[in-house]
Amino acid sequence: MSVTGSRRLLMVVASIAFSLAAGSVQAQTRAETLRYVTGASVNTLDPNIPGSTREAFAVSLSTYDRLVSFGRKQLNGKWVFDLGKITGELAESYEVSPDGLKMTFRLRKDAKFQDGTPVTAEDVKWSLDRVVTAPVLGKAQLLTGSMTSADQFKVIDPLTIEVTLPKPDKLALPNLATVYPIIFNSKVAKAHATADDPWALAWLKENTAGSGAYKIETFKPGEQVIMARNAEWNRGTADKSAFFKRVIVQSVPEPATRANLVERGDADLVIDLQASDVQSLEAKAKLKVISTPQYNAVTFVSMNNQIPPFDNVNVRRAIAFALPYDDMFKAALFGRGSPLFGATWADGKPTSGAYPIPQPVKLDLDKAKEYLKAAGMPDGFSTTFSFNVGQASTAEPMAALVKESLAKIGIKVDIQKLPDAQMSTQINEKKLPFFTEGIVAWLPSTDYFYRNFYTGNQRWNYSSINNPELVEIAQKARFEPDASKYEEDGIKLNAIHFSEIPQIPLWQPSQDAVMASSVEGYTYQFHRQVDYRDLNRK
């Protein structure tokens, strides 16, 4: 063997040994890494920036802490967030005064920002002031909890902060657990504030200054975010740092590719697969599939109550009895969700004051024809049915079924598929007569739903209903301290909803989280994203 030959051999052996060693190191870190793939993308590191995406919410809840967070509970054997149980995150303890007008938070003494400085009440005040003062998304959110002015937040001592309310508001405390009132390191943020931008919106969009469980390693908007664990963080449920050393949030636009990735074990978790893929993955039983009905979300068929012929309640009733609910549920969602149709209400009264509840409607063409006759339109009419491109995979089969079924009672439907921005614009301008859309509420209580989605001439009032009685009851219920009276108000609201049928609730789609069988701790969160801090690998 020549000299060059033996050297070459040596190099080959060395490179094989090297690659084997590298392989085992990689395998080790792989187990401690969570790779989460999604069709959406993260566009800001501060969820308060107008236009921020839902994926951005999930990232910021890992990089920042809030004063308080929601506990979790089991619902039909699956973990979901618990609106009724609020635990401290940066707050060690909190108390609400007996009259409900004062909330006092005592901060954890050991809480530190990622730069090592302690978290003080000053930081909390700056962060809360920012949410209610700066032009950010959190402003409208905290308004729903009666927090509107910086005067309401008072520093008592370096570790105590007090929030005063004008009225005892049930939603004040839960509001502090939503994604907007996260606590910033005010010294760092102020150092990057400018005269034009006193709240450092521009800097915090690209950088973080928090105390959360993860630090940002790489942030490529629209592509990926890689986060590394903050070993100092101890605000988790078991007083220890998060499990995964690294979290990779990667945008993979094609749903079939996401399904392949998780099936091959290259990705650990995905929550936005197509229903058909979820079904086949579930059948193969290699992966863990956790389907949670999104109990704070509802999908509707909406009608604009101000545009003829939908201003006639009998037309709306006719539609409600002419929809092929079961077929739609199967075709659109493959039955993955909880239906809001086909209920029986004893003596026609709502079964509960919760929202939403299953409605006593089903496909009954004879009844639908009678209602049409009562509306003075026995021969039907023509209209359009719109949905947005982003929801085409569920809305398209649904629209075809709606068209087919309504044709049987003489209503001619033209299907309109609109780009997302166009659809939201037309809804905002109240131009669509008949369409499908969904809603979601972070703090799902009956009065909240009715106040936000059935009141006023605003975008989220899809049906444009204007019913003074409904508005009055909903406003009163907001500050109703007595649980049984609140339930009564809820039943009244649900009864008005059914007699007016401003829009038709269809179902609550499931959130299908598909994960490697080793991943545990998944909890359905109010923001409908994954809280990476919940997860571990066994």
Residue 447's φ and ψ, nearest 5 degrees, are -65, -35
Q: Which stretch binds other proteins (CB under 8 A): 35-43, 58-66, 298-306, 330-338?
A: 35-43
Contacting other proteins within 230-269 (CB under 8 A): 248, 250-254, 256-257, 260-261, 263-264, 266-267
Q: Looking at this protein, which amino acid is placed at residue 423?
A: M
CB of 354 to other proteins, least distance (A): 19
User: Does 143 interact with other proteins (rule: CB under 8 A)?
Assistant: yes
Contact between 348 and other proteins per CB under 8 A = no
33-38 and 246-251: which strand pairing?
A: parallel
Give the range of 120-128, 149-157, 192-200, 451-459 binding other proteins by CB under 8 A: 451-459
Cα–Cα distance measured from residue 415 to residue 222, given in angstroms and rounded to the nearest whole number:
32
Instruction: Note whether 537 binds other proteins by CB under 8 A.
Output: no
CA distances, 137 to each of 51, 178, 289 (Å): 9, 12, 33
Residue number with CB closer to other proteins (405 or 461) = 461
| Site for other proteins contains 14 (CB under 8 A) | no
- Please give the Cα distance from 509 to 336 (Å, whole number): 6
Q: Counting contacts by CB under 8 A, is residue 471 touching other proteins?
A: no
Of positions 28, 458, 475, 499, contacts other proteins by CB under 8 A = 458
In angstroms, what is the minimal distance from the CB of 94 to other proteins? 24
On whether the CB atoms of residues 207 and 45 are closer than 8 A, the answer is: yes
Angle between helices 483-500 and 468-478 (to 10 degrees): 160
Sole binder of other proteins in the list 110, 122, 197, 223 (CB under 8 A): 223
Rounded distance between C-alpha atoms, residue 465 and residue 132, angstroms: 30
Beta strands 160-164; 153-157: pairing state: antiparallel
Q: Does 416 bind other proteins (CB under 8 A)?
A: no
Cα-atom radius of gyration of the chain, to the nearest Å?
26
Question: Site for other proteins (CB under 8 A): which residue of 87, 207, 224, 276?
Answer: 224
464 near other proteins, judged by CB under 8 A: no
109 in contact with other proteins (CB under 8 A):
no
Contact 34, 269 (CB under 8 A): yes
Is residue 198 part of the contact set for other proteins (CB under 8 A)? Answer: no
Nearer to other proteins, 110 or 254 (CB): 254
Hey, which residues does 339 pair with through a beta bridge? Answer: 507
Pick from 441, 466, 471, 521: which binds other proteins (CB under 8 A)? 441
212 contacts 64 by C-beta, under 8 angstroms: yes
CA distance 211 to 493: 42
| d(C-alpha 31, C-alpha 537), whole Å | 8
Which residues in this chain contact other proteins in the complex, by CB under 8 A?
A: 19, 26, 29-30, 33, 35, 37, 41, 43-44, 49-52, 135, 137, 139-141, 143-144, 205-206, 220-224, 248, 250-254, 256-257, 260-261, 263-264, 266-267, 389-390, 419-422, 424-426, 428, 440-442, 452, 458-459
